[in-house]
Amino acid sequence: MAKSLGGKLHTKILAGLLLGAALGILANTLLGGHHPFTEWVNHYVAGPLGQVFLRMLFMIVMPLVFASIALGVAGLGDLRRVGRIGGKAVGYFLATTFLAAATGLFFVGVLRPGDAIDAPVKAELMATYAGDASAKLASASGGGFGVHTFVNIVTRNPVKSAVEGDMLGIIFFGIVFGAALTLIPAARAKPMLDLLQSLNDAVIAIVGMAMRLAPYGVTALIFGVTSRFGFALLLPLGGYMLVVLGALLFHAVVNLSLVLRLLVGISPALFFARVRSAVVTAFSTSSSSATLPTALDAAEQGLGVPPKIAGFVLPLGSTMCMNGTSIFEGVTAIFLCQVFGIDLNLVQMTVIVVMSVITAIGAAGVPGGSIPLLAGIVAMFGVPAEGIAIILGVDRLLDMSRTAVNVYGDISATAFVARSEGLWNASMVQDPRQAVPAPERA
């Protein structure tokens, strides 16, 4: 999967973005956004092609959320046997992922890259793409904050929640279902776990199929947007990328450095020097799963973390510790709300942070694995499906960057757990800058 969704495909997606944008701007400049020919192309060619791609993404959101969350929770049933090590690891994953999501929320809330779009353009975007946005937005907010906000999370009918796109309801059902599997005999639970794993694998394969259509879908969708609005949407895209990359860099350099210094007791510079190979591998492959062997080597050989700690924490972290993904999802969701003129209150922004944490944990550790989940989040708040196309073309660089932060957070978790267990400390790590050279031969 990592190879099939690698650099060549993402190069094609970027080329599709540039081609669609160029053709759209050309049509907007020469003919105008409402010219009969432009509208004909959008209605009969670009629109249908883009919608096929988007529908494939939305088709798998609910089964992907349910299967990944249920499997994750069921897998944690082993914590009753592995004891405090598993508890510390999961606690670290959740704390740092929440911190990352909050960092992304702060950056996008302060810098507001989506506000670079003029108000009239936002109004036309909503009129063009989101006729039912107000109903979705009211549903997402639940009419205000109160007891019902929590009660509504408990779905009455998981099938109905799946049909209506109620991700919180599906997430809750997935958590309860996974927890229930840990309470029944292992022999009885195994067939269902195998079924869920097969469902999860099949859905990830569909993600790969959908992403193969992405170059054509992105070309069509971006043409539809730029032929109507010209440069108005492209200029803020650079600001959005800078916000995501800035938030990722801040989390790695500031947040995780403080964690390493205060909780792990190691110099962040020394830590990075010993795990750099894994971070570079993560950046180049855009896959936490593909980076796992290199991350294990960096933790065990580079840092000296005991294999029994690294061998347990890192595989768990490759699916649960998604610091970078939570930043990306939170920033992107709020950016798209800003683009489409959707004002979010504090409760709704809090929901986005929580959803970013939960769905980041459930995201597949392969390139493009978080895109379907992101599509589900933004749909909750009235962002039309076409909004996803705005960021898909630039996702390759962001995917590489967020995966590097994910893996950096994974390895920091192994050091934290090992130190808290008294099995490792920073004095065991040799600084490569102070390494004693081998004696010369006579």
Task: State the alpha helices, DSSP H only, in 386-428.
Answer: 387-392, 395-420
Q: pLDDT digits over 138-178, tens only?
A: 444 444 444 555 677 788 898 888 887 777 788 788 888 98
Tell me, what's the pLDDT at 141? Answer: 43
Amino acid at position 76, single letter: L
| DSSP sequence for 16-55 | HHHHHHHHHHHHHHHT-TT-HHHHHHIIIIIHHHHHHHHH
The greatest distance separating any two alpha carbons of the chain, rounded to the nearest whole angstrom, comes to 86
- Rounded mean pLDDT for each run of 10 residues along the chain, 442 residues in total: 50 80 87 84 85 78 80 67 75 92 93 82 66 43 49 84 78 85 89 91 82 82 78 76 95 96 94 91 75 87 89 79 90 88 83 82 61 78 74 75 92 93 85 54 41
Sign of the C-alpha dihedral computed for residues 65, 68, 72 and 75 taken in this order: positive
List phi, psi (to 5°) of 339.
Answer: -60, -40
CA gap 115, 335 in Å, rounded: 9
Distances (CA, A) of 74 to 66, 184, 190, 200: 12, 11, 10, 14
CA 161 to mean position of chain CA atoms: 22
CB 279 within 8 A of CB 404: yes
CA gap 190, 221 in Å, rounded: 43
List phi, psi (to 5°) of 288.
Answer: -65, -35
Tell me, what's the pLDDT at 411? Answer: 95
CA gap 24, 222 in Å, rounded: 7
- All residues at 6 or more sequence positions from 178 whose CB lies less than 8 Å from its CB, including other chains: 69, 70, 71, 72, 73, 74, 76
Please, what are the domains in the chain? 7-426 (1.10.3860)
Nearest to 226 by CA among 102, 334, 357, 121: 121
pTM of the shown model? 0.72
Amino acid at position 382, single letter: G
| DSSP sequence for 108-157 | HHHH-GGGGS-HHHHHHHHHHH-TTHHHHHHHHHTTSSSHHHHHTTS-S-
Q: pLDDT digits over 190-240, tens only?
A: 999 999 989 988 887 887 787 788 788 878 877 887 787 777 666 777 889
Write down the residue that tokens 């840990």 correspond to. 182
Give the single-character DSSP code of 208.
H
How is residue 256 written in tokens? 């995780």
CB 399 within 8 A of CB 211: no
Tell me, what's the pLDDT at 222? Answer: 78
Tell me, what's the pLDDT at 144? Answer: 44
Nearest to 103 by CA among 304, 203, 245: 245
CA gap 181, 289 in Å, rounded: 25
Q: pLDDT digits over 420-431, tens only?
A: 988 898 888 876
